[in-house]
Amino acid sequence: MQVQKDDVRNKIIETATEEFFANGYLHSSLRNIAAQAGMTVGNLYSYFSGKDDLFENVVAPAWEKLYSLMSIEYSVYESTHSPTLLQITDLITHTFISNKAGFSILINGSKGSRYENVRSDITRVLSRRLRAELSSGLKEEKIDPLLADALAASLMEGFITIFNNYGGDIDRLRNLIQELLVIMLGNLDKKMLSTDGR
């Protein structure tokens, strides 16, 4: 049995990251990854059981952060104890900044993998929070869930457009995200954008 070497394993992951980033999961090939890493496909299989296993290793750090974000429970009645929409978007932005390639692969290139619904999962988190925020303070009126869904989908597409095109300037990225929130939600409820709930 071949002894695994950390530097070889890291080289495979680095090469796979480039391949998945460029081609997405569906159109990436273990043959290409092995060739770019300077090894045979058989040698690659001594480190990873297949494309799914390799993809998992590439996106795991970004996925773990996104999963913790999506696992937050929201309650309309305890909205002051829940993260604000601005805090949620800050978490999404921080996840992107700390693992740009993994995040981009998850959002843009996970079709065909078990992660292909990540974009809609994040949109559902945003929608739940928007519903909670829009409903808080209203006594009789009910917010149509479709409104929250539409706003969440628009925000998610806006975030992705900014993430994919911000040009590497982190300050610009943060400013664009905040400006997007103010433009889209500023007239709805100032509390949604406040970090202290005021």
- Tens of pLDDT along 137-182? 555 567 788 988 999 999 999 999 999 999 999 999 989 998 898 8
Burial classification of residue 168, based on how many CB atoms lie within 10 Å of its CB (0-12 exposed, 13-18 middle, 19 or more buried): exposed
- Give the pLDDT confidence score for residue 105 in this predicted structure: 96
Q: How does DSSP classify residue 35?
A: H
Same fold flag, 6-52 and 59-189: no
Domain boundaries, the chain: 6-52, 59-189
Sequence-separated (6 or more) residues with CB below 8 Å from residue 146: none
Enter the tokens of residue 40.
Answer: 């045979």
pLDDT-based confidence at residue 95 (cuts at 50, 70, 90): confident
CATH architecture for the domain at 6-52: Orthogonal Bundle (1.10)
Sequence-separated (6 or more) residues with CB below 8 Å from residue 35: none
* Number of CB atoms found within 10 A of residue 78's CB: 11
- Give the pLDDT confidence score for residue 70 in this predicted structure: 65
Residue with tokens 């071949």: 2
End-to-end CA distance of the chain: 62
CA atoms within 13 A on the CB side of 50: 2
Residue with tokens 């103010």: 182
59-189: in CATH 1.20.120: no
Helix (H) or strand (E) holding 42: helix 41-45
- Tens of pLDDT along 108-126? 999 999 999 999 988 988 8
Amino acid 59 reads V
